[in-house]
Amino acid sequence: MRQTPGMTELAEEVKEQSPRDAAEVLGKLQPDEIQFILSRMPIDQAMNVASHLAETVTADEAATKAVISGSEETIGELMTPAPAILPATYTVAEALAFLVKSTEIADISYIFATDMSQRLVGVIGMRDLLLSKPSETLDGVMVVNPFAFRVDTPIQEAVGEVLYRHYPMYPVVDDNNVVVGVVRSWKLYERIASELSTQAGSQYGVAKEEQINTSVMAAFRMRHPWLLVNLFTAFAAASVVGIFEDTITQVVALAVFLPVLAGQSGNTGCQALAITLRGMTLGQMQDYPVMKLLRKEILLGALNGFIVGLVAGTAMFGYAMATDSVQPLLLGLVIVLAMTGACIGSGIFGVMVPIILKRFGADPATASSIFLTTFTDIIGMGLMLFLATALIL
C-alpha cells in the first residue's frame, strides 16, 4: 500500500472536504489506498464518506466495493500491510532508530518480532520498548506466542475474538506463521455495528445493501420476493384456522382472542430470535451449546407464557361470562394452556430458525421473522383451537 508522505498529505486534505467531494477523490484510488485514508478519519466521518463512495464506483470495481460494503468474508480481505516487522535479534536501540526513520509512525502500535524464517515469535508494545535498556534485544522484551489471525480466518469468527481481546491491531499470518499484514480493531468493531444495524431490516426481508437513497425499482426487487414468501406462509397459518372453522362458529369468543395469542407468542419468538442473532453476530454461539440456549428459552417461554396466560385467561373468563359463552371456566383454562404452550414453542423456533437458515447456507438474519411468525401463528392458534375442541366440544 502506498503509505507515503504524499498519501498522508492526501488523507489530511480529504478530511477537510465534504463527504461527497471526498468520495469522488477516493473513488479514483486503489482499495488499499482507500482503506489507508479512511483509517485516518474519525469513524463517523469515515462511514459517511464510505456511504457516498458507494455511489462513485462502477460495476466492475468489485474490490473497491468490498472495502466499503462490509462484504469481506475473511481477515485476508480486511488486512493492510504491517507497518513494523523487525527481527527478534534487534536491540531496543535499533528498534527505536527504525521508529524514528519510519514514515508510518502514526500507524505503529506494536512491533512484530520474527525469527530467522520470518515467522512471528513475539510482539512488543511501545511502552515496553521505551522502558527497556537500549542494549537489550527484542526477544527479551517481547510477549512471546502472541495471538494472531490467519489469513483465511472468517470475519464472523474474528468478530467473536475481538470481544475478548481489546487490542488496537492484530497481526495476520499465513500457514507458515509468517506475518503478512495487520487488521485494525476499529474495522472489526465497525463490522459488528454494521451487522447489528442491518439485522432489524434483514429480519423483514430488507436487504443489507438497501439504503435510504436506493431507487424505487431497486428496493422493489429486494423486498418483493420476501413479501411473496410471507404471503404463502400466511396461507399456511390461515389454513389452520380453517380446519377449526366449526369450533370458532360454535365458540365465537375464541375468535376475539386469536390475535391476542398470536401477538404474545410472536413477541416471545422475536425476543428469542433477537438474542440468537446477536449471539451469532458476536461469535458467542461458537462456545455456547445450542441445547443450553434452547433450555433457557423453553424455561423463559413457560414462565412468561403462564403468567401472561393467567391474565389473558382471566380476561377470557370475564368476556365469556359477559357474552354468555359456553363453559367460561374451561375457556379461561384453554387460554392459559395455549398461551403457555405457544410461548414455549415460540422460544424454540426463535432459536432454531436462524440456526437452520445458517446451516443451509442462508443469511441467518434474512427474513427470519417471516418464517418465525408463521410457525408461532400455527402453533399458537392451532393449539388454542385444538384444546377448545377437545375440552369444550
Q: Which of 75-79, 182-186, 224-228, 382-386 has the lowest mean pLDDT?
A: 224-228
Domain boundaries, the chain: 5-69, 85-191, 220-391
Angstrom distance (rounded) from CA 121 to CA 142: 9
Mean pLDDT for the stretch of residues 43-71: 52
pLDDT, greater one: 152 or 51: 152
Quick one: angle between helices 328-359 and 368-391, nearest 10? 150
C-alpha grid cell, residue 115: 525469527
pLDDT at 124: 92
pLDDT range class, residue 185, cuts 50, 70, 90: confident
Angstrom distance (rounded) from CA 207 to CA 230: 15
Q: Are 109 and 168 in contact (CB under 8 A)?
A: yes
In this prediction, what percent of the chain has a pLDDT beyond 90?
A: 22
Q: How far is CA 388 from the centre of its chain?
A: 41
Mean pLDDT for the stretch of residues 109-117: 90
| DSSP secondary structure code for residue 362 in this structure | S
Mean pLDDT for the stretch of residues 44-70: 52
For the question of whether the overall pTM of this predicted structure is more than 0.75, the answer is no
pLDDT at 35: 65
Q: 125, 126, 124, 112: which is closest to 178 by C-alpha?
A: 112
Is residue 356 predicted with pLDDT exceeding 80?
yes
Is residue 339 predicted with pLDDT exceeding 70?
yes
pLDDT range class, residue 191, cuts 50, 70, 90: low
Contacts of 332 (CB under 8 A, 6+ apart): 313, 314, 316, 317, 320
Give the CA distances from residue 86 to residues 116, 172, 215, 281, 333, in Å, rounded to whole numbers and listed in that order.
10, 15, 51, 35, 74
Contacts of 298 (CB under 8 A, 6+ apart): 344, 347, 348
> Average model confidence (pLDDT) for the chain?
80
Angstrom distance (rounded) from CA 214 to CA 205: 15
Contacts of 43 (CB under 8 A, 6+ apart): 186, 190
pLDDT range class, residue 18, cuts 50, 70, 90: confident
Q: Which of 10-19, 49-58, 248-257, 320-329 has the lowest mean pLDDT?
A: 49-58
- CB burial of residue 18 (10 Å; 0-12, 13-18, 19+): exposed
CATH of domain 220-391: 1.10.357.20
pLDDT at 262: 84
Q: How do 110-114 and 169-173 pair as beta strands?
A: unpaired
* CA pseudo-torsion sign 40, 41, 47, 49: negative
The class of domain 85-191 in CATH terms is alpha beta
Highest mean pLDDT among 17-21, 177-181, 184-188, 262-266: 177-181
